[in-house]
Amino acid sequence: MTDLIWLVVAIPLVGAAVNLFLGKRIGEPLSGWIGFGAVAASFLIAVEPMLGFFAGDSEPSTHFLFSWIPVLGVNAELLWDPLSALLTMIVTGVGALIHLYSIGYMHGDERFPRFFSYLNLFIASMLILVLAANYAVMFVGWELVGLSSYLLISFWFTKPTAAAAGKKAFIVNRIGDWGFLVAMMLIFAAFGTFDFDIIFGTAPGVLSVTMATAITLLLFVAAAGKSAQLPLYIWLPDAMEGPTPVSALIHAATMVTAGVFMMARSAVLFELAPVSGGIVATIGAATALLAAVIAVSQRDIKRVLAYSTISQLGYMVLGVGVGAYTAGVFHLTTHAFFKALLFLGAGSVIHAMSGEQDMAKMGGLRKKMPITFFTMGAAWLAISGIFPFSGFWSKDEILAATFAQGGAWYLLWGIGIVVAVLTAFYMTRLFVLTFLGKPRWDADAHPHESPASMTIPLIVLGAFTVSFGLVNTPFRLSFEHFLEPSFHGIPHVEGLTNVLITSLASVTLVVAIAGIVVAWRRYRVDELPVEVGGWWDRALVGFGVDDLYGRWIVAPGRRASELASRADAVVLDGAAHGIATGVRSAGEALKPVQSGRVRTYAGILAVAAVALVVVTVLVGGGF
Amino acid sequence: MSEVIVFVIFAAVALVGAISMVSARNPVYSAMGLLSTMFSLAVLYVVLDAHLVAAVQVIIYAGAVMTLFLFVIMLIGVDKADAYGRQVPAQRIMTFVVAIGFFAAIALAARSAWITGSGAFGDPEMNGTIEAVSDELFGTWTIVFLSTVMLLTIAAVGTIALAYFGAEVEDEEALL
Amino acid sequence: MIALAVTTSWYMMLAAALFSIGVAGVLMRRNALVMFMSIELMLNSVNLTFVAVGSDLGLIEGHVAALFVIVVAAAEVTVGLAIIVAVFRKRASADADQLAELRG
Amino acid sequence: MESASLLPVAFEVALLVGALLLLLVAVVAERKASVWGPLVGVTFLLSAVAGLWQWMDVADNGGGLFFSSQNFAIVRSPMVVMDEFSALAAMVLGTVGFVSFLGSWDLQSRLGKRGVEFSVLMLLGVAGLHMMTASPNLVVIFVGLETASIAFYILAGFTRKTRESDESALKYFLLGSLASALFLYGTALTFAATGSLSIYGANSIRNFFADQIVTDPGILLVGLALMLVGLMFKTSAAPFHQWAPDVYQGAPSGAVGLMAAGVKVAGFAALARIFMGGMISQVDIWAPILAVVAALSMIVGTVMALVQDDVKRLLAYSGVAHAGYLLAAIVAGPEGLEALWFYLATYAFMIVGAFTVVSIVNGPGAGPTPISSLKGLASRSSETAWLMAIIMLGMSGMPFFAGFVGKVLAFVAVEEAGYLWLVVVGALTTVIGLVFYLRVVITMFSSETDDSAGVDSLEVSITSRFAVVIAAAVTLTFGVLPWPLLDFVRSAIPF
């Protein structure tokens, strides 16, 4: 079955094409089932070869598709190894469930077939990204993911906020893409190839530390764009302007994991650049902390989840930064389950509340929607890090790996612990406010449980959320062994005794429980605490980072461009303006030199000529 | 020794002519300065045994080209108000710096030897008579000589295109 | 009196001086005609270099090169003067500094 | 001279004969556009065929040096060289000439009787350009350079009713002549230093360097530097670029395509021939200097293009940046020649296509063309807008477009030559450059339209459309499938 791997990518592509061109004729709900079927088929094709890795009787293999840019030796090749197999399973598995859920959720939308076309394209792009056997193919997937996320976030483009959010995601991701492109150029310059096999096989001998640092930092810029790390995270909270299944897809299974996946894939390079590792870990921890703090204050149920995603991604990046690649990928996996569950659950709630997203107007939904309640409860415990739910194991592993580094890394570990408290706190807040207590609904709300196409995915995801952590406990490292072939012999984090592991795990568990208890006592009351003024307001708007960008980057850019040419306002919005501003002002400063006078030009020509003569003679030793 | 005297005299005339060309306010005087430089160079060509070049220099450059220049000066009128370097203050300083710097750079670079190429290839008895030059011109350089047809066609066609203001100009209205 | 002989260096130095003066003329003058004359002066000084080197090394190529330069210069003069005349007819001036509408 | 020995100059002969026929036909046929127009096109195509013929001949019989005085065996002073390099140049220049002729047909047909003169200048200008690439003799290169330059000075000032046209011509002429004089002085000083005017042959610059260690290189270095100045001026590399935006902006849009494309092709080919053919042993001297100029060109071109409000100026500055990338390929030495040719061959079509679009939008005789005139082009002629978008993306160096392949090849070669910093500068400017190329694209696809440009759907003549389609097709084809062209250019290493 391994030979059929190309089908995994091809089927969703075909599905996307079918829905794009024939969607109107096929109509609802059949086009939804086609979309779901395509992804499910990919999943089924991938299962059997994946099991081979689990059984330990399969070798990683590359699959040549066609010769793409022969002069650079670039082929369209897919790499089937445990890491890509795992991601394929997540992308197609969780993706299929989200498709199924969307059939119910998008019911009645006039562009229903188009939505499934985009979803399939998204899945296919992500599969190209994870199955790539070289950086060039990966970049294609990377770009396609950016494109399809843009299409999906601004799916309801008539809503101005949705259109703006799509644009924001697109622009911020472009900054990351630049990092990827430059990194690719450096990689090609150093290795003369984009092939993972050759690069990772020869890197320790070929790459100087400086070069490795440069490449990995650029890769991190790219990852920071996709995986929403400081300072490029600003697109993600806005990205929930898209339909909720899209948020689930972006936040859980696909887009945001791309950055972490890419860094894990490049683990060999990161191993060679300790400085990069430090920077990556620090930024990861900082992102986790900032996002967790902001999440505490949010009132919109989806915004809480959005910031929690950023925070959890911070954990994964921290894991990669400290060299615990397996732990990072493990957390990615468990996070994919419980975050998809949370978003779908939130979608179910919003669906039931006829579009209400403010948690202050929910409460007491437990009775009305039991399935959603129970499944989300599992996700709540998992993300809070309660034993033995999946999130506990993966989070603990990252923190333990950080602790094991010692020295200044204790600080990052401390931050991780603080984030764990905060996570437990805000998730409990979300859960209590939504499902428990007295109903605080508007008069015209009639909450009801969602249809089966929406609840079945919740149940399946719930099962994984509860159990998947057991795949890799510190005492049973099957996940680690499974991924081993993908990390080219990078050693596991050492230096942890069983006692230490147990006590660290206990610490994490204790702080998580503490967070839950504090939140429980605060919110499980009849009169909700008033959360306005001072700190709450500032945190609610994300500490005004968007404003800050607006004031320091976007606004001056706007002003300069309005002065120079008003057409430019159309061209660039958002952060990209900041870079442009500096360059533009240089250009404006140079404009007077281009005075239009022939004599000035002749003068500059002559001065330059004399300078060139003098320099040439000096270089050549003629004086 | 006589060669030295000839060189000194005509080099001086050439330099004075060049400087007066650059500095004269009246374009007519500029043209006269250039003319005297060209004549002195013709003399120096003779000293260098470049007889044909000397003749062509006098006939084409001093004769045809400079006449054309003077003709155009007369056509467009002598604009005596043309002071130099008035509008751009830094221009004049830059000019001197560039000119002197350029000369100094070349002189410095060449202070030990102007000619590093070995003379072994050449013919020490060479004399730039008409025969010698035409042997070369119509031997090795034939194809280049023929290629100047293109140059001259361009010059003729181009001059008509630019300076002939006939009825065709009206056609251009269609462009605007 | 020391016996002085005119070496090729003298000619080359003269040519370099004339060339520099030509450069100065292009930079200093506003009248397009005089700028153009300065360029002709530069071509002349190059010719002097070609001829002097050719004679010194016994290479007739130097002389031939000078002839070609003269041909090119002649063609350039016709076209250049035509351009200047065209400018003058439209603007009644041959002041290069006044032609500065295209800039930035 | 045997008859076969006309082959090395077949390209020039084809164009010259075509031009002279054209002048004759124009007299006989009273300058009916329908009569002489096809003749020009056929001449350009024939010249490209001549290039192909040369290529095949070289493949069979090997290249060679031609037109010595007596003895072909000991070629003392060759005037023409025929090899893959010059044959490829002929093919590129012939086809680029053809496409730019198609693109400028709107202009020529509307010039009425003067259209013939325009065509003659185009034909002979292209012939002059090819002389620069097909001669090993510095003086002949100069003659070719001047032939092309003088033709283009006239083309820049061809539309006398357009206000800016004469300013453009005068600027181009004065500055161009100054640069030509500097180049010529450079050749004279090189002649003084090496005793040779020729790159190849018995008494050649190559042999001069091969035979002796240059102990006193002073004057040679000055000559080398001045030749660089002249050629870098013609190819508009910073800081010798200032003429380009003004000239392009003022010249009639229909004429700019050839000016911009042809001079770049020939200028860089000549640069490669002189410096890699004749002075490769001095590479340690000229390569670092070219690297600095390349970096400066990339930066200045990119930065200035960002702040332009005129499409033609924008394209001119982007041309400065492209000159930087092309120079980078030369910095890489012979390894970079493949990249140089690929880049040149594709860029030439892109720039011709871009200027054709400009002349479609604002009229082929117009001077300044504000970017705002492109507003809403997509709704006025969606085909043109899409093709222009392809060309812009190609220029920006997006993957899957020809510009990307050229850039990557150049950067790889440069890195191998040890100029990592130049690669970094190139990568950064490429990224910044995206902004202004995308600005053009976004302007075209914006929903608002410019009142002054009109809102009606745009009439696109068949010739212009053909030119733009060819340009876009080249951009896309060689972006996705670069190797046919790459196999081709790889053999075009001159020595």
Per-domain boundaries in chain B: 2-115
CB contact under 8 A, B116 and D80: no
For residue A400, give both structure tokens.
Answer: 């333990």
Q: DSSP string covering A476-508, please? A: EEHHHHHHGGGGTTPPPP----HHHHHHHHHHH
- C-chain CB neighbours of D312 within 8 Å are none
Residues sharing a CB contact under 8 Å with residue A105, sequence separation 6 or more, in sequence order: A243, A244, A245, A347, A351, A454
Average pLDDT over residues B117-135: 72
B76 and D CB contact within 8 Å: no
Confidence category of residue A574, pLDDT binned at 50, 70, 90: very low
Distance from CA of C99 to the nearest CA of B (A): 13
Structural domain harbouring D226: 7-490
Chain-centroid distance, C-alpha A41: 25
H-helix segments, D62-114: 84-103, 105-110
CB contact under 8 A, A609 and D226: yes
Neighbours of chain C (3+ CB pairs under 8 A): A, B, D
Among A606, A617, A623, beta carbon nearest to B98: A606
* Higher per-residue confidence, A62 vs D156: D156
Q: Which amino acid is at A6?
A: W
B127 and A CB contact within 8 Å: no
Kindly give the parts of chain C with pLDDT less than 50: 1
Among A565, A579, A617, beta carbon nearest to D221: A617
CB contact under 8 A, A612 and D289: yes
**CA–CA distance, C95 with A222 (Å, rounded to integer):** 55
Q: Which residues of B, range 111-150, sit inside 8 Å of D by Cβ?
A: 111-119, 121-122, 135-136, 139-144, 147-150
* Higher per-residue confidence, D27 vs D321: D321
CB half-sphere exposure, D8, CA atoms < 13 A: 23
Q: How far is CA D63 from CA D84, D115, D333, D491, in A?
A: 7, 38, 21, 12
What pLDDT score does A567 carry? 43
**In-domain check, residue D495:** no
pLDDT greater than 70 at residue B59? yes
Instruction: State which residue of chain B sits closest to C89, comparing Cα positions.
Output: B76
Average pLDDT over residues A1-12: 80
Do A580 and A474 share a domain, yes or no?
Answer: no
Helix (H) or strand (E) holding A46: helix A30-55
User: D13, exposed or middle or buried, with CB in 10 Å at 0-12, 13-18, 19+?
Assistant: middle
Do A488 and A600 share a domain, yes or no?
Answer: no
For residue D44, give both structure tokens.
Answer: 């350009």
Q: What is the pLDDT of residues D456-478, one digit of tens each?
A: 778 888 999 999 999 999 998 88
Instruction: State which residue of chain A sits closest to D447, comparing Cα positions.
Output: A570
Q: DSSP string covering A64-77, please? A: EEEEEEGGGTEEEE
Q: DSSP string covering A393-450, please? A: HHHHHHHHHHHHH-TTHHHHHHHHHHHHHHHHHHHHHHHHHHHSSS----TT----PP
For residue D453, give both structure tokens.
Answer: 């440009």
Q: What is the pLDDT of residues A483-533, one digit of tens each?
A: 777 776 666 665 566 777 778 888 888 888 888 888 888 877 777 677 666
pLDDT greater than 50 at residue D20? yes
- D-chain CB neighbours of B114 within 8 Å are 192, 219
Q: How many CB pairs (< 8 A) connect B and D?
A: 165
**CA–CA distance, D77 with D65 (Å, rounded to integer):** 9
For residue D440, give both structure tokens.
Answer: 């053009």
Confidence category of residue B84, pLDDT binned at 50, 70, 90: very low
- A-chain CB neighbours of D321 within 8 Å are none
Q: How far is CA A572 from CA A56, A148, A174, D319, D438, in A?
A: 51, 20, 11, 23, 9
Distance from CA of D138 to the nearest CA of C (A): 9
D273: DSSP letter: I
What pLDDT score does D256 carry? 93
Q: Are A282 and A321 in contact (CB under 8 A)?
A: yes
Total domains in chain D come to: 1
Confidence category of residue B35, pLDDT binned at 50, 70, 90: very high
Distance from CA of D183 to the nearest CA of C (A): 10
Reported ipTM: the value is: 0.92
Distance from CA of C90 to the nearest CA of B (A): 11
A617 and B CB contact within 8 Å: yes
Closest CA to A332 of A263, A401, A235: A263
Q: Which residues of A, range 41-100, sit inside 8 Å of D by Cβ?
A: 69-72
Confidence category of residue B89, pLDDT binned at 50, 70, 90: low
What pLDDT score does D296 carry? 94
CB contact under 8 A, C86 and B163: yes
Query: Does A485 sit behind a cis peptide bond, omega within 30 degrees of 0 on the bond before it?
Result: no
Q: Which residues of B, range 63-122, sit inside 8 Å of C by Cβ?
A: 64-65, 68-69, 72-73, 75-76, 79, 82-88, 91-92, 94-96, 98-100, 102-103, 106-107, 110, 114-115, 117, 119, 121-122
**In-domain check, residue D459:** yes
For residue D120, give both structure tokens.
Answer: 């003659």
Do A536 and A551 share a domain, yes or no?
Answer: no
**CA–CA distance, D354 with B99 (Å, rounded to integer):** 40
Do A418 and A287 share a domain, yes or no?
Answer: yes
Q: How many CB pairs (< 8 A) connect A and C?
A: 35
What pLDDT score does A573 carry? 47
What pLDDT score does D355 carry? 94
Q: What is the pLDDT of residues A393-413, one digit of tens each?
A: 888 888 888 888 777 788 888
Structural domain harbouring A613: 547-622
According to DSSP, the residues that pair with A75 across neighbouring strands are A67
**In-domain check, residue A423:** yes
Helix (H, G, I), strand (E, B) or coil at A300: strand
Distance from CA of B120 to the nearest CA of A (A): 24
- B-chain CB neighbours of A617 within 8 Å are 105, 108-109
Residues sharing a CB contact under 8 Å with residue A227, sequence separation 6 or more, in sequence order: A256, A257, A258, A259, A260, A313, A316, A317
Distance from CA of B171 to the nearest CA of C (A): 17
**In-domain check, residue A329:** yes
Do A608 and A512 share a domain, yes or no?
Answer: no
pLDDT greater than 70 at residue D495? no
Among B64, B83, B114, beta carbon nearest to C12: B114
B83 and A CB contact within 8 Å: no
A185 and D CB contact within 8 Å: yes
Helix (H, G, I), strand (E, B) or coil at D66: strand
Most confident range, picked from A73-87, A593-607, B73-87, D119-133? D119-133
Q: What is the pLDDT of residues A19-59, one digit of tens each?
A: 877 777 777 778 888 888 888 998 888 888 887 777 777 77
Q: DSSP string covering D328-394, please? A: HHHHTGGGGHHHHHHHHHHHHHHHHHHHHHHHHHH-TT-S--BGGGGTTHHHH-HHHHHHHHHHHHH
Neighbours of chain B (3+ CB pairs under 8 A): A, C, D
Q: Find the range with the poorest average confidence among A246-255, A273-282, D269-278.
A: A246-255
Sign (positive or negative) of CA dihedral D213, D219, D222, D228: negative
- Any idea which architecture B2-115 has in CATH? Up-down Bundle (1.20)
**CA–CA distance, A248 with A243 (Å, rounded to integer):** 9
Q: Are D361 and D377 in contact (CB under 8 A)?
A: yes
**In-domain check, residue A378:** yes
Helix (H) or strand (E) holding D81: strand D80-82
Distance from CA of A613 to the nearest CA of B (A): 7
pLDDT greater than 60 at residue A572? no
What pLDDT score does A555 carry? 60
Among A178, A188, A565, beta carbon nearest to D431: A178
State phi, psi for C99 to the nearest 5 degrees. -90, 80
What pLDDT score does A62 carry? 81
Mean pLDDT computed over every residue of chain A: 80
Average pLDDT over residues A231-238: 78
pLDDT greater than 90 at residue D123? yes
What pLDDT score does D74 carry? 44
CB contact under 8 A, A617 and B109: yes
**CA–CA distance, B136 with B53 (Å, rounded to integer):** 13
A200: DSSP letter: H
Confidence category of residue A70, pLDDT binned at 50, 70, 90: low
Do A507 and A586 share a domain, yes or no?
Answer: no
What pLDDT score does D72 carry? 44
Closest CA to D92 of D495, D478, D480: D478
Most confident range, picked from A75-84, A252-261, D97-106? D97-106
A530 phi-psi bin (left φ>0, alpha ψ -120 to 50, beta other): beta
CB contact under 8 A, A602 and C100: no
pLDDT greater than 80 at residue A423? yes
**CA–CA distance, D332 with D412 (Å, rounded to integer):** 9
Confidence category of residue D293, pLDDT binned at 50, 70, 90: very high
Helix (H) or strand (E) holding D64: strand D64-66
Helix (H) or strand (E) holding A546: helix A545-549
- Domain final residue, candidates A497, A520, A540: A540
pLDDT greater than 80 at residue A383? yes
Sign (positive or negative) of CA dihedral D402, D405, D407, D410: negative
Q: What is the pLDDT of residues A109-166, one digit of tens each?
A: 778 888 888 888 889 999 999 898 888 888 888 888 888 887 788 777 777 777 777 7
Q: Are A113 and A71 in contact (CB under 8 A)?
A: no
Residue with tokens 């070049």, as numbered in its chain: B53
What pLDDT score does A548 carry? 66
For residue D449, give both structure tokens.
Answer: 């339209």
Q: How many CB pairs (< 8 A) connect A and B?
A: 31
Q: Which residues of B, range 112-141, sit inside 8 Å of C by Cβ?
A: 114-115, 117, 119, 121-126, 128, 132-133, 135-137, 141
Rg (CA), chain A: 26
Q: How many CB pairs (< 8 A) connect B and C?
A: 239
CB half-sphere exposure, A366, CA atoms < 13 A: 10
**Residue of A142, A210, A583 for testing the chain D interface, max D β-carbons within 10 Å:** A583
* Higher per-residue confidence, B164 vs D330: D330
Helix (H, G, I), strand (E, B) or coil at A457: helix
Among B113, B143, B168, beta carbon nearest to D216: B113
- Look at strands A74-80 and D64-66 and give their pairing: unpaired
**CA–CA distance, D186 with D189 (Å, rounded to integer):** 5
Q: How many CB atoms lie within 10 A of CB B142?
A: 15
Do A464 and A574 share a domain, yes or no?
Answer: no
Q: Domains of chain C: which residue ranges?
A: 32-100
Among B168, B173, B176, beta carbon nearest to D114: B168
Do A358 and A462 share a domain, yes or no?
Answer: yes
Q: Which amino acid is at A8?
A: V
Confidence category of residue D248, pLDDT binned at 50, 70, 90: very high
**CA–CA distance, D5 with D82 (Å, rounded to integer):** 10
Q: Which amino acid is at A317?
A: V
B57 and C CB contact within 8 Å: yes
Q: Are A416 and A288 in contact (CB under 8 A)?
A: yes
Q: What is the pLDDT of residues D333-342, one digit of tens each?
A: 888 888 999 9
**Residue of D177, D246, D247 for testing the chain C interface, max C β-carbons within 10 Å:** D177
